[in-house]
Structure 1
Amino acid sequence: MIFSRIPLRAWFATLALGCFGLLAFSLALQGMLRLSPCPLCVFQRLLYLVVGVLALAGFLLPVARPLWLGAIGAVALLGAGVAAYQTWMQRFPELAPECSFTDPNLIERLVDWLGMRFPSLFLATGFCSSVEWSFLGLSMANWSLLIFLGIAAYVALPLRRAA
């Protein structure tokens, strides 16, 4: 199998670069199109950053690679759940409890706290059920769901090789 020939360090480096590239792309898109990210969008951005840092740790600290793989898989599944929830909110906005109109939940409080400290990266100003951008008929939340599921599948490759 071709995946067995790829060094694990290259696997972790590719994942880290991919996640940091997604962050850069989201910030560039936000600036160019004047998009207003919602709390769930910003939380997903934070999860991409966490996956990138964990992948970088897996690249730099090879001793704990099973730990990094498990943590990346867990964060990717959390991100897929958040993106799926936002996808549902965008599909059925009349049923969705809109972010920022009720008492803030844990995610909204974390995003608010980060937005006050790092506004260029984490300031949430949009609504979770609105679709401000789409590509090939999919919203940013749809793409994020697919990417998080792809990261979870990507984690399975080195785990399968180790078995």
Structure 2
Amino acid sequence: MIFSKVPLRAWFATLSLGCFGLVAFGMQLQALLRLSPCPMCIFQRLLYLVIGVLALLGFILPAAHPVWLVLVAGSALLGAGVAAQQSWMQAFPELATECGFTDPTLLERLVDMLGMQWPSLFLATGFCTSKEWVFLGLSMANWSFFVFAGIAAYAVILLRRKWR
């Protein structure tokens, strides 16, 4: 089986490059289509970066791979939860309390702080209920949910695999 022949470090490198690539793709899409990311979008971007860094640490320090994989899986599940909430908000905008219309949540405060430090990467200017980009009938939040779920599954599969 190919899975057993690929070194653990290669799996971590692939995950890291994939996450950093997703952030780069999202930023290019944002610039090309003049999209306005919302606080939840920016938080998901931050989680992709966190997962990318954790996977990079797994590449550098593979002996601690269970720790990195548990942290990756936890971050991915958090991301899937945020993406699912945003997907719900987009599906039922009349029922959702829009980001920015109530007292700021911890997530919104974190995104605001990061947006002041690195506006090109973390500035939130959009609304969580808007679907500015749709591909194959799914919004970016919907796609993000599936990607985060895939990352969590990837981490669990790697965690359950016995490495020599």
| TM-score bin, normalised by smaller chain | over 0.9
TM-score normalised to the size of structure 1?
0.98
Per the TM alignment, residue 55 of structure 1 is displaced from its structure 2 partner at its CA by 0.1
Counterpart for residue 147 of structure 1: 147
Matched residues in 2 for 1:132 and 1:162: separation?
43
Structure 1, unpaired ranges of 5+:
none
Say which SS state the counterpart of residue 41 (structure 1) adopts.
helix
Matched residues in 2 for 1:126 and 1:162: separation?
44
Matched residues in 2 for 1:153 and 1:6: separation?
18
Counterpart for residue 117 of structure 2: 117
Letter in 2 for 1:125: T
Per the TM alignment, residue 63 of structure 1 is displaced from its structure 2 partner at its CA by 2.1
Per the TM alignment, residue 62 of structure 1 is displaced from its structure 2 partner at its CA by 1.5
Instruction: Tell me, yes or no, if the aligned pair for 1:3 and 1:157 is still in contact at 8 Å.
Output: no
Matched residues in 2 for 1:7 and 1:156: separation?
16
- Structure 1 residue runs of 4+, over 4 Å off? none
Letter in 1 for 2:81: G
Counterpart for residue 55 of structure 1: 55
Matched residues in 1 for 2:50 and 2:113: separation?
17
Matched residues in 1 for 2:158 and 2:23: separation?
24
Counterpart for residue 42 of structure 1: 42
Matched residues in 2 for 1:27 and 1:143: separation?
15
Counterpart for residue 8 of structure 1: 8
Letter in 2 for 1:84: A
- Deviation by residue 1:43-78 (Cα, 9 ceiling, x = unmatched): 000000000000000000122111000000000000
- Deviation by residue 1:132-160 (Cα, 9 ceiling, x = unmatched): 00100000000000000000111122122
Letter in 1 for 2:48: Y
Over the residues paired in the alignment, what is the CA RMSD in angstroms? 0.9
Matches within 5 A, 1:7-156: 7-156=7-156
Matched residues in 1 for 2:162 and 2:76: separation?
20
Structure 2, unpaired ranges of 5+:
none
Instruction: Tell me, yes or no, if the aligned pair for 1:15 and 1:55 is still in contact at 8 Å.
Output: yes
Identical-residue share of aligned pairs (%): 72
Letter in 2 for 1:105: T
